[in-house]
């Protein structure tokens, strides 16, 4: 039932929510299961972005439906892994969207820089 | 794992998951549990109690944040999908929406009336504390006696339970100075009348206590409608004066647009301004009764307490004034909520119509469910494939319910349009039943009702279709394309739906049939007079100009002579009322007790009661009322001649069953004067075709004159004579107001409006039900034939005659109809008691109606099955066997 959107229209989906972007980023390097994603996001943001089970799977459902991630064929290793786990992998489209979002943020940052927003505040 | 043995935290987590959509749970619930489990384990290893708290609060917040958007996603998809399906099946959609629209429209329309009349509180602050107070002569069967001034004062002064008690009576006065003399409906009320109802005038002021003192300057308050229609809502109306009853009246206020009870009036005046009410003779006489009384319950006082209070006062009056309240009359004073008083006449009719409308909606539901099932069987494989691909069953149920709700919503919108366009007609109809009809409108509550009706409808028909579709999904794939087994169980459901439609239609048609039969009986009833070619009108003669009896008698004679001289007029008469006049019907009989000479009442025995009519000599001839015995009144009666009276047959039957009343004497002033009975007239149904004649006493105008109506029998169409007669009256005195010119045929027809509209509405509902049920039977037969093409082909190939096939299919349709009629019969017998009070000379189990309706329904079923049956009989066996 998922609708895979064609490349080229993903700009319309931007901006992403920070949490969605983090999940996409987290999957950029490797396939992961839900709990690992949650831990990785928390580690990388030094605890600033904390996902709960509910929000995480809401995002996964959405990313899955958009066709930005898919369930990978990787199965949990019997005995070592919780068999409930499923692994997720970034699709080409997902990578494209993540890059788009990164560019958008970069441009935004550029603008902020040109306004000298980052120069030291004058001391009173 | 058995859920009971799970750790508590896991059980709580699972419970939390339930707020998410079912599909989401099945898809991700396991994983989410896993994630939560890991988080918990981690905290157990390296965390404290605060971390647990944080985990739980984040988890709960996360789930509750995710749930709404997930539900919304699904709803969006379902709506889009539903709309797509509706567009794709335009024919089905149109029929379903129309059916539901009619059902919901009927309910919305009737509900708007029920809501305004029966459910909504009176539109005054704390309207539920307003009470109607009445005196009764219970032993005489008179349950509404007007009040005299003394009585009003006694009940007002002695009661402990009312915060106020006001009096009210209506008069017709003539207003001069605005074109033709205008008869204005005037309510004469206590000064604090509007305070009791808590109504603030829109302009000016309410009445003050000073206005009510005898001799105070005469003042008026106009009703909003009269001010708007007669004076174009002129804001400068205050202070203007009008001539009324020979006095100048000053307008001091205008009412806001509030409903007026018990009747609408044009103007209000305080009691001091009414020449009758303020006459000393009237005020002094405890037995001169004219007024009605309204009260407002004190805070915290119940109706029962007020009743007990009134009963105490009545007892006190009885012992203080035994002559006014003799033991044998059964004197009592009672009160009832004003709301009940105003609506009780409408209640049975409205409830019957509401029940009928609900039946129509149920039939519509069953029909649409059937259509949906038929459509589902075409979609079954699609749905089965979707299930196989992992769509949860509850997901499909949800999808189907969304589709049905969409359909019902569009149907509801259509219903609203239908209800809105029928509103004016319904208001006119309801006005026959209750003074609250003007309040009927489509407000937020009615809209909410429509929405609820649509929702309820979609749940009923959506669930029926979804449940039976679901039951068959799993078997559908296994069985392959023929789907015989599932098809059979589904056909049973469809048959059950058809049977229920027939049953409900039967009940509705019984209701319509009974109403129709009793209406016909009512229209055929002999009212006791000949209404053809009689014109009647209300004549209001200035009370002040003709203050003396002789003056009145003289002007009556002049009017009658002048009208009778008009070419084309056969005879003319004046009287206190004419039969079936709408005003007479709403006011009711002018009843009173009388004495029969030579008959002493036993102690405790109730005195005789009769209804009085004041008439001029040619009254019976003009109205075509037969004179059965004795003679009519003549010009010689009354005045200085002998005092005479006439009675009707009902009176004779009641009081002189075995003797001749002619020559006997009766007295209506407690023996002061005796009137000799000189003639007996035939019975007339004065107060409604459905109400038998009351014992009636006719008194000649020359003895007591109250010439409020004029009637004339004409040679040609009476309507063509109207202007000439009015002109003739005005030639005698241009200040006589002549209004409400109608033919007696019109008056007679108008008196049956209420049963006629009830019968029409029930007929429309019943007809609608019949068409829907017949279409349903035709549809299911066609489907059955198309499913059985092969079987029928084989039968024909084996030598079955086409006529036998025809009979087989017709028999099937007939069976469905017969079972439906059987169930409907039982249902009708159980509920026809509801309509009993609306029927006239017919029992609710009238065999002719039951038989007739059964024949109509069964014939409709046969006709509806005929086309599919003929198609079945014409099946070519070779073609049939080839198709698969």
Residues of A in contact with B35 (CB under 8 A): 34-35, 38, 53, 56
Domain end residue (candidates: B671, B701, B735): B735
CB-side exposure of B161: number of CA atoms within 13 Å?
Answer: 24
In a domain, B533, yes or no: no
* Cβ-proximal residues to B378 (8 Å cutoff; 6+ apart), any chain: none
Locate the chain A residue with the closest alpha carbon to B32: A53
At B219-275, the pLDDT tens digits run 999 999 999 988 899 999 999 988 887 788 999 999 998 888 778 899 999 998 888
Same domain assignment for residues B520 and B392: yes
Smallest Cβ distance to A38: which of B35, B61, B70?
B35
| pTM of the predicted model over 0.95 | no
CB-CB under 8 Å, B39 with A82: no
Quote the percentage of chain A above a pLDDT of 90: 44
CA-derived radius of gyration, chain B: 37
Quote the percentage of chain B above a pLDDT of 70: 95
Per-residue confidence band for A10, with pLDDT thresholds at 50, 70 and 90: low
| Strands (E) located in A3-74 | 32-33, 69-71
Smallest Cβ distance to B62: which of A33, A53, A84?
A53
Same domain assignment for residues B220 and B237: yes
Residues of B with CB under 8 A from a CB of A: 20, 24, 27-28, 30-39, 58-59, 61-67, 69-70, 391
The pLDDT score that the predictor gives to residue B651 is 95
Give the DSSP letter of residue B291. B
In a domain, A61, yes or no: yes
In a domain, A97, yes or no: yes
Give the burial string for B187-203 (b: 16+ CB within 10 Å, else e): bbbbbbbbbbbebebeb
Q: What integer is the mean pLDDT of B775-803?
A: 85
Locate the chain A residue with the closest alpha carbon to B23: A61
Taking the C-alpha atoms of residue B511 and residue B517, their distance in angstroms, rounded to an integer, is: 10
The pLDDT score that the predictor gives to residue B81 is 86
Q: Tell me the CA distances in angstroms from B770 to B337, B506, B826, B853, one per residue in order.
A: 41, 8, 18, 10
CB distance B210 to B272 below 8 Å: no
Peptide linkage before A15 cis (omega within 30 of 0): yes
Runs of H (alpha helix) within B259-320: 280-284, 303-320
Residues of A in contact with B27 (CB under 8 A): 61
Is residue A6 pLDDT above 60, yes or no?
no
Taking the C-alpha atoms of residue B880 and residue B797, their distance in angstroms, rounded to an integer, is: 10
In a domain, A104, yes or no: yes
Average pLDDT of chain B to the nearest whole number = 87
Taking the C-alpha atoms of residue B779 and residue B172, their distance in angstroms, rounded to an integer, is: 62
CB-CB under 8 Å, A85 with B34: yes
Give the DSSP letter of residue B119. I
In a domain, B108, yes or no: no
CB distance B644 to B690 below 8 Å: no
Locate the chain A residue with the closest alpha carbon to B34: A84
In a domain, B218, yes or no: yes
Same domain assignment for residues B813 and B673: no
Residues of B in contact with A53 (CB under 8 A): 32-33, 35-36, 39, 59, 62-63
Per-residue confidence band for B472, with pLDDT thresholds at 50, 70 and 90: low
Count of structural domains within chain B: 4
Residues of A in contact with B58 (CB under 8 A): 50, 52
Q: State the nearest Cα–Cα gap between A103 and chain B, in angstroms.
A: 28
CB-CB under 8 Å, A54 with B35: no
At B151-194, the pLDDT tens digits run 999 999 999 999 999 999 988 888 876 666 778 889 999 999 99
Per-residue confidence band for B122, with pLDDT thresholds at 50, 70 and 90: confident
Q: What integer is the mean pLDDT of B345-349?
A: 87
Per-residue confidence band for A4, with pLDDT thresholds at 50, 70 and 90: very low
Give the DSSP letter of residue A12. G
Per-residue confidence band for B860, with pLDDT thresholds at 50, 70 and 90: very high
CB distance B245 to B256 below 8 Å: no
CB-CB under 8 Å, A58 with B66: yes
Chosen for mutation from A23, A43, A51, A54 (greatest number of chain B CBs closer than 10 Å) is A54
Instruction: For the beta carbon of residue B174, count every other beta carbon within 10 angstroms.
Output: 22
Taking the C-alpha atoms of residue B160 and residue B155, their distance in angstroms, rounded to an integer, is: 10
Residues of A with CB under 8 A from a CB of B: 1, 33-35, 38, 50-58, 60-61, 82, 84-86
Taking the C-alpha atoms of residue B222 and residue B238, their distance in angstroms, rounded to an integer, is: 10
- Please spell the DSSP secondary structure of B425-477, one letter per residue: HHHHHHHTT-GGGGG----HHHHHHHHHHHHHHHHHHHHHHHHHHHHHHHHHH
Same domain assignment for residues B289 and B360: no
Taking the C-alpha atoms of residue B199 and residue B216, their distance in angstroms, rounded to an integer, is: 23
CB-CB under 8 Å, A52 with B63: yes
Is residue B395 pLDDT above 90, yes or no?
no
The pLDDT score that the predictor gives to residue B882 is 76
- Give the distance, in angstroms, between the CA of residue B803 and the centroid of all CA atoms in the same chain: 51
Smallest Cβ distance to B62: which of A52, A85, A86?
A52
Strand partners, A87: A33
Q: Residue A95 sits in which domain range?
A: 13-114
Chosen for mutation from B35, B39, B386 (greatest number of chain A CBs closer than 10 Å) is B35
Give the DSSP letter of residue B54. H
- Number of CB pairs, chain A paired with chain B, less than 8 A apart: 68
Q: Residue B704 sits in which domain range?
A: 542-735
Instruction: For the beta carbon of residue B40, count every other beta carbon within 10 angstroms.
Output: 20
Is residue B597 pLDDT above 70, yes or no?
yes
| Segment among B508-512, B591-595, B725-729, B821-825 with least mean pLDDT | B591-595
Q: What integer is the mean pLDDT of B351-376?
A: 87
Domain end residue (candidates: B33, B51, B75): B75
Q: What integer is the mean pLDDT of B756-784?
A: 87
In a domain, B111, yes or no: no
The pLDDT score that the predictor gives to residue A5 is 45
What CATH code is carried by the domain that includes residue A82?
A: 1.10.10.10
* Nearest residue to B537 via CA among B708, B752, B686: B708
Residues of A in contact with B34 (CB under 8 A): 34-35, 82, 84-85
CB-CB under 8 Å, A50 with B58: yes
In a domain, B103, yes or no: no
- Please spell the DSSP secondary structure of B133-177, one letter per residue: EEEEEGGGTEEEEPBPHHHHHHHHHH-SSEEEEEEEEEEEEEEES
Taking the C-alpha atoms of residue B262 and residue B257, their distance in angstroms, rounded to an integer, is: 15
Same domain assignment for residues B679 and B567: yes
* Nearest residue to B189 via CA among B154, B161, B225, B152: B152
In a domain, A5, yes or no: no
The pLDDT score that the predictor gives to residue A2 is 42
Residues of A in contact with B70 (CB under 8 A): 58, 61
Smallest Cβ distance to A58: which of B37, B38, B69?
B69
DSSP 3-state of B666: strand
In a domain, B107, yes or no: no
CB-CB under 8 Å, B391 with A61: no
The strand pair at B675-681 and B644-648 is best described as parallel
CB distance B117 to B350 below 8 Å: yes
In a domain, B530, yes or no: no
CB-CB under 8 Å, B36 with A55: no
Quote the percentage of chain B above a pLDDT of 90: 45
Residues of A in contact with B63 (CB under 8 A): 52-54
Same domain assignment for residues B338 and B360: no
Smallest Cβ distance to B35: which of A1, A35, A61?
A35
The pLDDT score that the predictor gives to residue B668 is 86
In a domain, B105, yes or no: no
Same domain assignment for residues B325 and B371: no
In a domain, A18, yes or no: yes
Is residue B682 pLDDT above 90, yes or no?
yes
Is residue B539 pLDDT above 60, yes or no?
yes
Is residue A3 pLDDT above 80, yes or no?
no
Domain end residue (candidates: B687, B708, B735): B735
Give the DSSP letter of residue B773. H
Residues of B in contact with A82 (CB under 8 A): 34, 37-38
CB distance B437 to B117 below 8 Å: yes
The pLDDT score that the predictor gives to residue B465 is 74
Runs of H (alpha helix) within B788-846: 789-797, 802-831
CB-CB under 8 Å, A86 with B35: no
Q: State the nearest Cα–Cα gap between B479 and chain A, in angstroms.
A: 26
The pLDDT score that the predictor gives to residue B3 is 54
* Cβ-proximal residues to B365 (8 Å cutoff; 6+ apart), any chain: B100, B103, B457, B460, B461, B464
Q: State the nearest Cα–Cα gap between B468 and chain A, in angstroms.
A: 24
Per-residue confidence band for B778, with pLDDT thresholds at 50, 70 and 90: confident
| Max Cα–Cα distance, chain A, nearest Å | 64
Same domain assignment for residues B697 and B730: yes
Locate the chain B residue with the closest alpha carbon to A58: B66
Count of structural domains within chain A: 1
Average pLDDT of chain A to the nearest whole number = 82
Instruction: For the beta carbon of residue B444, count every other beta carbon within 10 angstroms.
Output: 7
Per-residue confidence band for B487, with pLDDT thresholds at 50, 70 and 90: low
Give the DSSP letter of residue B738. E
């Amino acid at each position: 039932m998922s609708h895979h959107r064609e490349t080229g229209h993903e700009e319309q989906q931007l901006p992403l929510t920070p949490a969605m972007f983090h999940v996409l980023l987290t999957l950029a390097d490797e396939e992961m299961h839900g709990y690992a994603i949650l831990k990785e996001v928390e580690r990388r943001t030094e605890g600033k972005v904390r996902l709960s089970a509910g929000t995480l799977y809401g995002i996964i459902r959405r990313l899955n439906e958009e066709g930005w991630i898919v369930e990978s064929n990787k199965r949990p290793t019997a005995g070592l892994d919780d068999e409930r786990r499923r692994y997720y992998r970034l699709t080409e489209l997902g990578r494209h969207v993540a890059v788009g979002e990164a560019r958008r943020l970069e441009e935004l940052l550029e603008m902020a820089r040109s306004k000298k927003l980052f120069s030291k505040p004058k001391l009173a | 794992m058995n859920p009971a043995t799970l750790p508590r935290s896991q059980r709580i987590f699972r419970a939390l998951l339930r707020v998410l959509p079912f599909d989401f749970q099945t898809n991700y619930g396991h994983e989410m549990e896993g994630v939560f489990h890991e988080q918990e384990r981690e905290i157990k290893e390296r965390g404290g109690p605060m971390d647990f708290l944080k985990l739980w609060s984040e988890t709960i917040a996360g789930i509750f944040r995710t749930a709404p958007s997930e539900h919304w996603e699904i709803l969006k998809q379902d709506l889009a999908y539903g709309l797509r399906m509706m567009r794709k099946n335009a024919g089905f959609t149109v029929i379903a929406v129309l059916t539901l629209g009619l059902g919901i429209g009927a309910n919305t329309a009737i509900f708007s009336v029920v809501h305004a009349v029966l459910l909504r509180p009176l539109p005054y602050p704390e309207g539920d504390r307003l009470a109607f107070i009445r005196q009764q002569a219970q032993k005489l069967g008179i349950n509404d006696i007007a009040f005299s001034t003394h009585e009003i004062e006694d009940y007002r002064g002695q009661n402990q339970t009312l915060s106020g008690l006001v009096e009210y009576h209506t008069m017709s006065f003539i207003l001069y100075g605005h074109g033709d003399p205008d008869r204005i409906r005037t309510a004469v009320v206590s000064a604090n009348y509007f305070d009791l109802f808590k109504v603030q005038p829109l302009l000016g002021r309410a009445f003050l206590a000073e206005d009510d003192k005898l001799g105070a300057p005469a003042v008026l308050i106009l009703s909003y409608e009269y001010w708007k229609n007669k004076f174009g809502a002129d804001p400068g109306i205050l202070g203007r004066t009008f001539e009324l009853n020979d006095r100048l009246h000053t307008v001091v206020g205008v009412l806001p647009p509030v409903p007026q009870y018990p009747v609408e009036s044009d103007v209000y005046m305080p009691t001091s301004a009414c020449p009758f009410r303020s006459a000393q003779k009237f005020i002094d006489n405890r037995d001169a009764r004219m007024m009605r009384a309204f009260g407002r319950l004190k805070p915290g006082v119940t109706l029962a307490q007020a009743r007990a209070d009134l009963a105490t006062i009545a007892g006190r009056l009885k012992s203080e004034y035994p002559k006014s309240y003799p033991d044998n009359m059964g004197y009592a004073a009672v009160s009832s909520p004003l709301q009940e008083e105003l609506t009780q006449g409408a209640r049975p009719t409205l409830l019957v119509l509401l029940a009928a409308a609900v039946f129509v909606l149920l039939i519509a539901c069953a029909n649409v469910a059937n259509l949906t099932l038929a459509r589902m069987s075409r979609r079954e494989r699609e749905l089965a494939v979707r299930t196989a691909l992992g769509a949860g069953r509850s997901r499909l149920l949800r999808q189907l319910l969304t589709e049905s709700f969409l359909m019902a919503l569009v149907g509801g919108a259509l219903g609203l349009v239908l209800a809105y366009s029928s509103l004016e007609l319904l208001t006119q109809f309801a006005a026959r039943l209750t003074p609250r009809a003007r309040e009927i409108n489509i407000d937020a509550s009615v809209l909410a009702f429509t929405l609820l009706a649509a929702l309820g409808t979609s749940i009923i028909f959506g669930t029926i279709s979804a449940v039976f579709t679901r039951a068959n999904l799993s078997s559908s794939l296994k069985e392959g394309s023929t789907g015989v087994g599932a098809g059979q169980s589904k056909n049973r459901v469809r048959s059950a739906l058809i049977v229920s439609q027939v049953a409900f239609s039967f009940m509705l048609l019984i209701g319509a049939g009974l109403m129709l039969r009793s209406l016909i009986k009512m229209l055929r009833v002999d009212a006791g007079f000949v209404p053809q070619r009689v014109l009647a009108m209300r004549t209001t003669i200035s009370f002040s100009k003709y203050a003396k009896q002789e003056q009145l008698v003289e002007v009556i004679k002049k009017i009658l002579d002048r009208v009778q001289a008009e070419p084309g007029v056969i005879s003319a008469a004046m009287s206190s009322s004419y039969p079936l006049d709408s005003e007479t019907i709403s006011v009711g009989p002018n009843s009173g007790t009388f004495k029969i000479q030579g008959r002493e009442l036993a102690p405790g025995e109730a005195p005789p009661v009769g209804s009085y009519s004041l008439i001029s000599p040619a009254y019976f001839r003009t109205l075509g009322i037969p004179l059965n015995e004795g003679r009519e009144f003549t010009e010689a009666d009354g005045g200085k001649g002998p005092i005479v009276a006439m009675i009707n047959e009902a009176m004779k039957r009641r009081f002189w069953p075995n003797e001749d009343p002619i020559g006997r004497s009766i007295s209506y002033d407690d023996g002061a004067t005796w009137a000799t009975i000189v003639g007996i007239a035939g019975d007339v149904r004065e107060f409604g075709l459905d109400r038998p004649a009351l014992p009636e006493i006719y008194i000649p105008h020359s003895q007591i004159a109250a010439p409020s109506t004029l009637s004339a029998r004409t040679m040609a169409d009476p309507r063509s004579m109207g202007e000439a007669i009015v002109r003739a009256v005005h030639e005698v005195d241009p200040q006589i107001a002549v209004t409400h010119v109608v033919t007696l045929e019109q008056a007679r027809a108008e008196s049956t409006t209420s049963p006629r509209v009830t019968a029409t509405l029930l007929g429309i509902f019943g007809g609608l039900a019949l068409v829907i049920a017949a279409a349903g039977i035709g549809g299911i037969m066609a489907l059955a034939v198309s499913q059985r093409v092969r079987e029928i082909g084989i039968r024909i190939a084996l030598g079955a005659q086409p006529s036998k096939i025809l009979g087989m299919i017709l028999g099937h349709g007939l069976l469905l109809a017969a079972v439906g009629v059987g169930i409907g019969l039982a249902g009708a017998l159980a509920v026809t008691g509801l309509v009993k009070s609306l029927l006239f000379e017919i029992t609710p189990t009238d065999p002719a109606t039951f038989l007739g309706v059964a024949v109509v329904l069964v014939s409709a079923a046969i006709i509806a099955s005929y086309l599919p049956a003929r198609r079945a009989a014409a099946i070519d066996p070779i073609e049939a066997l080839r198709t698969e």
